[in-house]
Amino acid sequence: MNISAANDIDGAPAARLSVDGLRTPVIGPCALTLAPGECVVLTGSSGSGKSLLLRAICDLDPATGTVLLEGRARETYVPRDWRRAVALLPAEPAWWAETVGEHLLTTSEDVLSALGFSASVMSWEVARASSGERQRLALARLLQLQPRVLLLDEPTANLDAGNRARVESVVRDYLVSRAAAALWVTHDAEQAARIGDRELVMRAGRLEANACT
Ligand SMILES: Nc1ncnc2c1ncn2[C@@H]1O[C@H](COP(=O)(O)OP(=O)(O)OP(=O)(O)O)[C@@H](O)[C@H]1O
């Protein structure tokens, strides 16, 4: 679907993701929308509930409220399909197979290269990868699902400036080429200004728009 096809009858961009009244025992009620191609940064102090919000949106934690993808309710999806379409990159991704290649079955060499790897990374044992390498490999693994929405929990927390720029570029290219949307958690104000179209701030489990963005 291209962006124009996603427009509603008034010509305004239709929400790729629409969240309303989302509530768990710890967070909410929270409301937000992500437009096609949009990158919204989510900031807020440690423990304010950012990771829990991402987990609630992608249905890893039970939550009440409404979550729609392109107008379709989350409840109408098979859970596995929902988590592929609205995909979470956790701060500490899990690895269940021994080698990198077993996780990246359909990842292109172009994506690996853009993230700073040669094709030989496929034969690596996951255990030898550094935390920053694992963080970039986990992004490659996520993108091969071709999600409509990326939920990114501090995806550059372990990275140097060069690799941080690689990740920002890969995500931005993905959002543009697929008209996908991202909710990107960061504690880095400079990164928030660089990558965010808008900023939301989590305070004690509630979402607020940052009036400065
Ligand atoms: N299952 C749970 N039950 C109750 N409280 C929880 C649960 N999981 C996390 N919390 C608490 O909820 C709060 C929000 O946690 P969360 O991980 O979302 O914070 P965060 O904003 O992502 O923080 P950080 O920036 O440090 O990663 C924390 O105080 C945490 O201890």
Structure ipTM: 0.96
Report the side by side order of strands in the sheet with 72-73.
30-34, 17-23, 64-69, 72-73
What pLDDT is attached to residue 158?
A: 87
Whose alpha carbon is nearest atom 30 of ligand 1? Answer: 47
What pLDDT is attached to residue 210?
A: 72
Which residues lie across from 68 on neighbouring strands? 18, 73
What is the value of pTM for the model shown?
A: 0.93
What pLDDT is attached to residue 4?
A: 38
What pLDDT is attached to residue 209?
A: 81
The residue ranges of every structural domain in the chain are 4-209
Task: Give the list of residues 6+ apart from residue 123 with CB closer than 8 angstroms, or none.
Answer: 99, 100, 101
Centre of ligand 1 to C-alpha 28, Å, is: 13
The pLDDT > 70 percentage for the chain reads: 92
* C-alpha triplet 100, 192, 13: angle, nearest 5°: 90
CA distances from 172 to 58, 143, 161 (A): 21, 12, 16
Class assignment of domain 4-209? alpha beta
**Mean pLDDT across the chain, nearest whole number?**
92
Tell me the best of 42, 48, 58, 208 to mutate to test the pocket of ligand 1, counting ligand atoms within 8 Å of each CB and taking the most.
48
Structure confidence at residue 12 as a pLDDT band (50, 70, 90): very low
Centre of ligand 1 to C-alpha 154, Å, is: 14
Separation between Cα atoms, residue 206 and residue 15, nearest integer Å: 21
Mean pLDDT across 185-207: 97
CB of 120 within 6 A of ligand 1: the answer is no
Comparing 6-15, 16-25, 62-71, 129-138, the range with the smallest average pLDDT is 6-15
CB of 48 within 6 A of ligand 1: the answer is yes
**Whether the predicted pLDDT of 212 surpasses 90:** no
Centre of ligand 1 to C-alpha 91, Å, is: 12
Q: CB atoms < 10 A from the CB of 70, how many? A: 15
Comparing 14-23, 82-91, 154-163, the range with the smallest average pLDDT is 14-23
